[in-house]
Amino acid sequence: MSAPPDETVPALGRGVKFRFDEVRQSWVLLAPERLFMPDEQAVEILKLVDGVRSLGVIIDDLAGRFNAPRDLVARDVATMLGGLADKGAISL
Amino acid sequence: MSVPEPPMGLLAELTHRCPLQCPYCSNPLELERAAGELDTAAWLRVLDEAADLGVLQVHFSGGEPTARRDLPDLVRRAAERKLYSNLITSGVLLDERLLADLVEAGLDHVQLSFQDVETANAERIGGMVGAQAKKRTAAALIQRAGLPLTLNFVIHRQNVDHLPAMIALGAELGAARIEVAHVQYYGWGLVNRDRLLPSRDQLDAATAEVEAARARFKGRMVIDYVTPDYYAERPKACMGGWGRRFINITPTGKVLPCHAAETLPGLNFPSVRDENLAAIWRSAPAFERYRGTEWMAEPCRSCDRREVDWGGCRCQALALTGDAANADPACALSPHHRTMQAAIAAADRSPSSDFVYRRIGAAPTAQA
C-alpha cells in the first residue's frame, strides 16, 4: 500500500467515536457494530485526528513531541490509519 | 474465580413482537408476549447499570425494537451515558417522524435487514407482504437523516444465489457497511435447517463473491461475512466466549450470556427485576458455568485454540450432541463433527421450500 500524501486530512469515519472510558481507564474507538482498543501509540495518533489537521501536521507534531525520526513516525501513522481506514473507522 | 473484565456490548432485546416472521429468527421458540415486557423505567435503569458496569455499545434489538414506543427515550438515555447506540431493525415500522425522534435522541447507527433483493422471495421469506417497499423507504430516510447505515442480509439456500445483487443494493442505498451472515442453526433456524442450509457449491460461490466485492469496494464499503458452522473445521468464538464480551437481556428482563442460552437446561438466568446487572455479570452461576476454560473437557481442554474459540457455541453443542459442555461439533476434532455432514446431506436431498414461520405458538412441540 502506498502511503497517502501529507496533505491528506484524516477524519473519523461516519458514526465513529473516540472517547475515554472511565471504567477501563483507557481510550476506545467505537464504530458501527465494532470497537477497537487502540494501544498507546495509536491513541496519540487518534487524538490528533480531528478532520482539520493534515497527515503532515500530525506527523510533525508526533515526531517533535516524541523526538522520533520523521520517516519512522510517518510509516507508523500510515500503517495505523490505513488499517483503520480498511475497516471503515477512519476516512483518508 | 477472578473478577471478569466488563462486557463490551449489551444486546437489548426490547420485545419479541415483530411484523416479520423470518424462519431463521434468533429469538427463542417460546416467544414472550407484550404483557411480560420490561417497562420504560426498568430499561432506563438497566442502561444506567450497563454504563456503570463498563458496557460500551448497546444494540437495540428484538423482535422489532421500533414496536416499542419508548425507543427514543431509551436511545436518549444511552447517549447521555455515552453508550454507542445501534438500532437493529427490519425497517418496516420506521417512518420520518420516528427516525427524526431517534436522531434527536442521539442514535449512532442503524442496521437494516433485507431478506432478499427479489421482492417476491424477500416477502415470502419474511412472511410479510409489502415489506420490501417499506424497507427501501426506510433506507432512504436513514440516508437523508445522515445516519450511518449497515445493510444486513441473512443468507441461506433459498436466497444465497442473489448475493451479487444484495451487495449491489448496499452500494445503491449508500450503506457504509454490509453484513452478509449465513444462518446460524439453533432455535427457528434449526427447525428449518433442511430448507436453509446451503450446498457446498452455493457456499463457495458466496465466499468468492464476498472476497471479490471486498476488493471492489475497498475504502468505500466494508463487507462483514459470517460463515456457516456446518462447513467449518474449527468453531467460532461464539459471542467472543461465554460471559466475556456480551450481555443479553430478554424482553422480560432475563440476563443471558447469549440470545439462545435459554435452550440450555439446568441454568437459572437472573432477572434485572431482582438484581443489579454488575452483580449478575460478575457472579451469577449461569455466567460462571462456561466462562473461561475450567469447564472444558477434551478435545478442548488441552487444545491450543481453547482461548481462541472458547470451545465454540454451547447451544450448538447441546442441540447436536446432547451435552452443552461438549466441544462445538463445528470443530473437526469433535467426535460429533459428522452430524454436520449428515445435516448437509439431508438438506441436499430435501426438495421442500416450505418454512415453519416464526410465530407465537408455531414452534414444534418437540424440537428437532
Give the pLDDT confidence score for residue A86 in this predicted structure.
87
A55 min Cα distance to partner chain B (Å): 18
B57/A86 Cβ within 8 A = no
Binary contact (A14, B222; C-beta < 8 A): no
Is the pLDDT reported for residue A5 higher than 50? yes
Residues 172-201 of B with CB under 8 A from A: 176-177, 179
Report which of B340, B323, B322 is spatially closest to residue B331, judged by C-alpha positions. Answer: B340
Is any Cβ of chain A less than 8 angstroms from the Cβ of B59? yes
Say yes or no: A13 contacts chain B, CB-CB below 8 A.
yes
Query: By CA distance, what is A84's nearest residue in B?
Result: B219
Whether A15 contacts chain B with CB within 8 A: yes
Residue B8 to residue B244: CA distance in whole angstroms: 8
B111 at the A interface (CB within 8 A)? yes
Q: What angle do CA B359, B287, B284 make, to 5 degrees?
A: 110
Q: Can you tell me the distance from the alpha carbon of A20 to that of A18, in angstroms, rounded to the nearest whole number?
A: 7
Residues A88, B57: C-beta atoms closer than 8 Å: no
- DSSP element (H, E) containing B152: strand B149-155
Residue contact A88–B53, C-beta within 8 A: no
How near does any CA of chain A get to the CA of B55, in Å? 9
Q: In chain B, what residues touch A13 (CB-CB under 8 Å)?
A: 148, 176
Q: Is the dihedral of CA B259, A38, A24, B38 positive or negative?
A: negative
Mutation target among B57, B87, B281 for the A interface, most CBs of A within 10 A:
B57
For the stretch B209-244, pLDDT in tens is 999 999 999 888 999 999 999 999 999 999 999 999
Strands B57-61 and B9-13: parallel
pLDDT recorded at residue B1: 53
Q: How is residue A47 annotated by DSSP?
A: T
B54 touches chain A (CB under 8 A): yes
**pLDDT < 50 positions in chain B:** 366-368
Query: Does residue A23 belong to the interface with chain B, where contact is any CB pair within 8 Å?
Result: yes
Per-residue pLDDT at A57: 97
Q: Are B60 and B86 in contact (CB under 8 A)?
A: yes
- Going by their DSSP bridges, the two strands B222-226 and B246-249 should be labelled as unpaired
Phi, psi (5° rounding) for residue A38?
A: -65, 145
- Of B237, B236, B238, B244, the C-alpha closest to B292 is B244
Cell numbers that stand for B321 in this block: 450432541
Burial class (CB in 10 A: 0-12, 13-18, 19+), B130: exposed
Please write the tens of the pLDDT for every residue from A23-78: 999 999 999 989 999 999 999 999 999 999 999 999 999 999 999 999 999 999 99
For residue B66, the model assigns a pLDDT of 98
The pLDDT of residue B367 is 45
CA–CA separation, B25 vs A49, rounded Å?
A: 40
Of A21, A85, A88, the CB nearest to B56: A21
A43 interfaces chain B, CB cutoff of 8 Å: no
pTM recorded for the entire structure = 0.95
- Residue B31 makes CB contacts below 8 A (sequence gap 6+) with B16, B358, B359, B360
Q: Measured between CA atoms, how close is B258 to chain A, in angstroms?
A: 16
pLDDT for B133 equals: 98
Instruction: Tell me the per-residue pLDDT of B270-308, one tens digit each, with 9 for 90 and over.
Output: 999 999 999 999 999 999 999 999 999 999 999 999 999
The ipTM value here is: 0.92
A25 touches chain B (CB under 8 A): no
- Give the bridge partners for B248, in sequence order: B11, B256
Q: What is the DSSP annotation of B47-116?
A: HHHHHHHT--EEEEESS-GGGSTTHHHHHHHHHHTT-EEEEEE-STT--HHHHHHHHHHT--EEEEEES-
pLDDT score at A1: 52
CA neighbours within 13 Å on the CB side: how many for B195?
15
The DSSP code for B13 is E
